[in-house]
Amino acid sequence: MINLDDYKLKTIEEGLTKIQFPEYEKVSSDAPVFYNPQMELNRDISILALQTYQNEQKREINICDLFGGSGIRGVRYKNEIDGVGKVYINDISELANRFEKHNVELNSLEDIEIHQHDASMFLRLNRGEFDVIDIDPFGTPSPFLDSAGYCARRESLLCVTATDTSALCGTYKEPCIRKYNSKPYKSEYCHETGIRILAGFCAMTLSKYAKCIEVLLSHSTEHYMRLYLKIKKGSKRTDETLKNMGYISHCKECLYRETSKGLATSTPDICPECGQKLIQAGPLWLGNIQNKEIYHKND
């Protein structure tokens, strides 16, 4: 039986929400319950994005916070977004669950369920239940995208965080190939390339389930990347969106670059500007990575 009195508690406020968790020395996955103040902006933007989505749906939405930690995200979603029905907060850790429950009570909220499952298992047990699935794990979201693809419903919103930016940006090539099946390249625009590799991997994974993505919003901030994907269904539509997959060829001498759409396409070898050998990155998403129309929907 977990007793909160056994812990020295830290109290913080974010947005309109107050939460408590066990004090820790430094932000790391070794903290008894994870809370990272650096992610406040990520959560603030999430609230705006989810509110925009809810306004567009014109009905109550159910949200799954798949990696709850302290519960800050799910609790803020229920507390600060209009038109939210049920929020499901899941975490594999029993201690995290205990604090999630405590933080729900601290904010006097109802209609929040707390669950303790492996993330993929939780999604599969609740296939088609959620309007929003929020994947905010330690490091890469890659192992969980198959279950998200299998379970996400038509017109739902999939939010994905990745903190393994050294892989996506090409500081470490092999982990990116292993986790995202894509070759990165560390250029001066490697954060955009990283976002495109992540989006491409989501598109390819979801395509197995005849689902496709529209990237509504994406950003690379500090140590993480974040995507907001609208999910659509249909094999023909999915085939069509996969035409957005391709490669970028980059010249490190004169910074010339060009893109080639298609998965089994030919890419240029030699820079047409200076004659140096071009370097390829990909496969990655060459479609839109922002939908500017949604920026003003909350004005």
Ligand X SMILES: C[S@@+](CC[C@H](N)C(=O)[O-])C[C@H]1O[C@@H](n2cnc3c(N)ncnc32)[C@H](O)[C@@H]1O
Interacting residues with ligand X (CB under 6 A): 34-36, 39, 43, 67, 69-70, 72-73, 90-93, 96, 118-119, 136-138
Cβ of residue 271: shortest distance to ligand X, in angstroms? 41
Give whichever of 131 and 136 is closer to ligand X, judged by the CB atom.
Answer: 136
Cβ of residue 20: shortest distance to ligand X, in angstroms? 13
Give whichever of 41 and 254 is closer to ligand X, judged by the CB atom.
Answer: 41
Cβ of residue 119: shortest distance to ligand X, in angstroms? 4
CB 245 within 8 A of CB 261: yes
Cβ of residue 275: shortest distance to ligand X, in angstroms? 46
CA distance 294 to 299: 10
At 252, give phi and psi (nearest 5°): -80, -10
Q: Is 192 helix (H, G, I), strand (E, B) or coil?
A: helix
Give whichever of 118 and 239 is closer to ligand X, judged by the CB atom.
Answer: 118
CB 253 within 8 A of CB 216: no
CB 50 within 8 A of CB 78: no
Half-sphere exposure of 148 (CA within 13 A, CB side): 32
Cβ of residue 195: shortest distance to ligand X, in angstroms? 19
Give whichever of 70 and 220 is closer to ligand X, judged by the CB atom.
Answer: 70
Rounded (5°) CA angle 49-50-55: 100
Which residues on adjacent β-strands are paired with residue 219?
226
Give whichever of 223 and 261 is closer to ligand X, judged by the CB atom.
Answer: 223
CA distance 224 to 265: 30
Cβ of residue 141: shortest distance to ligand X, in angstroms? 10
CA distance 213 to 165: 21
Which residues on adjacent β-strands are paired with residue 217?
228
Per DSSP, which regions of 66-116 are E strands?
Answer: 84-90, 112-115
CA distances from 57 to 61, 66, 268 (A): 8, 22, 44
Give whichever of 70 and 241 is closer to ligand X, judged by the CB atom.
Answer: 70
Token pair of 294, please?
Answer: 């949604």
Identity of residue 260: S
Cβ of residue 215: shortest distance to ligand X, in angstroms? 21
Give whichever of 77 and 285 is closer to ligand X, judged by the CB atom.
Answer: 77
